[in-house]
A and B are shown apart, each in its own frame.
Chain A
Amino acid sequence: MIKGMAEKIGVGLLALSGTAQAAYQWNLPSPVTHVASEIYDLHLIMMGIIAVIFVGVFGVMFYSIYAHRRSVGHKAEHFHENTTVEVVWTVIPFFILIAMAWPATKTLLELKDTTSPDITIKATGYQWKWGYDYLRGEGEGISFLSNLTTPQDQINGSAPKGEHYLREVDNPLVVPVGKKIRILTTANDVIHSWMVPAFGVKQDAIPGFVRDTWFRAEKEGVFRGQCAELCGKDHGFMPIVVEVVSADKYAAWVGEQKKKMLAVAEDPNKKWSLAELKAKGEKIYAANCVACHQASGQGVKGAFPALDGSKLVNGPRGRHIEIVLNGKQGTAMAPFGKQLLDTDIAAVITYERNAWSNKTGDVIQPSEIKSARR
Chain B
Amino acid sequence: MSAVIDTGHIHGGHEHHPSGIMRWITTTNHKDIGTLYLWFSFTMFLVGGVLALGIRAELFKPGLQLWHPEFFNQLTSMHGLIMVFGAIMPAFVGFANWQVPMMIGAPDMAFARLNNWSFWLLPVAATLLVASFFVPGGAVAAGWTIYAPLSTQMGPGMDLGIFALHIMGASSIMGSINIITTILNLRAPGMTLMKMPLFVWTWLITAYLLIAVMPVLAGAITMVLTDRHFGTSFFNAAGGGDPVMFQHIFWFFGHPEVYIMILPGFGIISQVIPAFARKPLFGYSSMVYATASIAILSFIVWAHHMFTVGMPVAGMLFFMYATVLIAVPTGVKVFNWLATMWRGSMTFETPMLFAVGFIFVFTMGGFTGLILAIAPVDIQLQDTYYVVAHFHYVLVAGSLFSLFAGFYFWVPKWTGRMYDEKLGKWHFWLSMIFFNVTFFPMHFLGLAGMPRRIPDYALQFADFNEIASIGAFGFGLSQILFLWIILKVTVLGQGEKAGQRPWEGADTLEWTHLPSPAPYHSFHEQPVVK
Contact = CB atoms under 8 A, between A and B. Distances in A.
Contact of B153 (A80, A209, A232, A300): A232
A107 B342 CA distance: 41
Given A228-B451, A233-B69, 9 more contacts: A23-B460, A68-B277, A94-B328, A100-B374, A104-B376, A108-B376, A189-B153, A200-B379, A204-B308
A166 B457 contact: yes
Contacts of A209: 237, 242-244
B238 A232 contact: no
Given A25-B444, A108-B313, A235 B459 contact: no
Contacts of A165: 62, 458-459
Interface stretch (B24-32, B161-169, B363-371): B363-371
A197 B70 contact: no
Contact of B342 (A60, A185, A224): A60
Given A23-B462, A104-B376, A204-B309, A195 B451 contact: yes
A78 B277 CA distance: 10
Interface in A55-113: 57-58, 60-61, 64-65, 68-71, 74-82, 85-86, 89-90, 93-94, 97-98, 100-101, 104-105, 107-109, 111-112
B286 interface: yes
A233 B454 CA distance: 9
Contacts of A21: 463
A298 to B, nearest CB: 14
A154 interface: yes
Give 7 closest A-B pairs by Cβ, nearest first. Answer: A208-B237, A236-B454, A211-B310, A197-B449, A76-B345, A25-B448, A80-B280
A164 B375 contact: no
B260 interface: no
A90 B332 contact: yes
Nearest to B279: A76
B70 A233 contact: yes
29 contacts: A25-B460, A38-B376, A39-B376, A42-B374, A57-B334, A60-B338, A68-B343, A68-B344, A68-B346, A81-B283, A86-B286, A93-B328, A101-B320, A104-B375, A155-B456, A163-B459, A166-B457, A189-B149, A190-B147, A191-B243, A197-B380, A202-B308, A202-B379, A206-B309, A207-B237, A229-B147, A230-B452, A233-B70, A302-B136
B382 interface: yes
B375 A28 contact: no
Nearest to A112: B313
A204 B306 CA distance: 9
Contacts of B313: 108-109, 112
B142 A230 contact: yes
Contacts of B454: 226, 235-236
B8 interface: no
B42 interface: no
Contacts, number: 297
A93 to B, nearest CB: 5
A211 B309 contact: yes
Nearest to B278: A76
A237 interface: yes
Contact of A229 (B281, B335, B383): B383
B243 A70 contact: no
Interface of B: 62-65, 68-70, 73, 136-137, 141-143, 147, 149-150, 153, 236-238, 242-244, 277-286, 308-310, 313, 316-317, 320-321, 324-325, 327-328, 331-332, 334-335, 338-348, 356, 359-360, 363-364, 367, 370-371, 373-377, 379-380, 382-384, 444, 447-449, 451-460, 462-464
Contacts of A69: 345-348
A208 B346 contact: no
Contact of A206 (B244, B327, B335, B374): B244
Nearest to A27: B447
A101 B347 contact: no
Interface string A107-143: 1110110000000000000000000000000000000
A329 to B, nearest CB: 11
A236 B457 contact: yes
B379 A111 contact: yes
Contacts of A77: 279, 343-344
A54 B286 CA distance: 22
A312 B47 CA distance: 41
Given A68-B344, A97-B325, A108 B320 contact: yes
A332 interface: yes
B464 A155 contact: no
A297 interface: no
B277 A76 contact: yes
B317 A105 contact: yes
A81 B282 contact: yes
B451 A227 contact: yes
A176 interface: no
The majority secondary structure among interface residues of chain A is mixed
Given A89-B332, A101-B320, A154-B63, A42 B460 contact: no
Nearest to B239: A208
Contact of B456 (A80, A207, A237): A237
Nearest to A229: B383
Contacts of A107: 376
Contact of B463 (A24, A65, A109, A211): A24
Nearest to A26: B444
Nearest to A194: B308
A29 B280 CA distance: 48
Contact of B310 (A23, A105, A167, A204): A204
A226 B453 CA distance: 12
B345 A190 contact: no
A74 B244 CA distance: 57
Contacts of A332: 153
Contact of A234 (B69, B237, B321): B69
Contacts of B444: 24-27
Contact of B356 (A42, A61, A229): A61
A371 interface: no
Contacts of B238: 208
A23 B282 CA distance: 47
B469 to A, nearest CB: 16
A38 B377 CA distance: 9
Contact of A29 (B339, B343, B449, B463): B449
Interface in A206-247: 206-209, 211-213, 224-237
A230 B328 CA distance: 33
Nearest to B150: A190
Contacts of A233: 68-70, 73
A193 B332 contact: no
A39 B379 contact: yes
B342 A68 contact: yes
A161 interface: yes
Contacts of A108: 313, 316-317, 320, 375-376
A164 B348 CA distance: 50
Contacts of B373: 101
Contacts of B147: 190-191, 229-230
Contacts of B379: 39, 111, 200-202
Given A24-B464, A167-B458, A157 B63 contact: yes
Given A78-B280, A100-B324, A190 B149 contact: yes
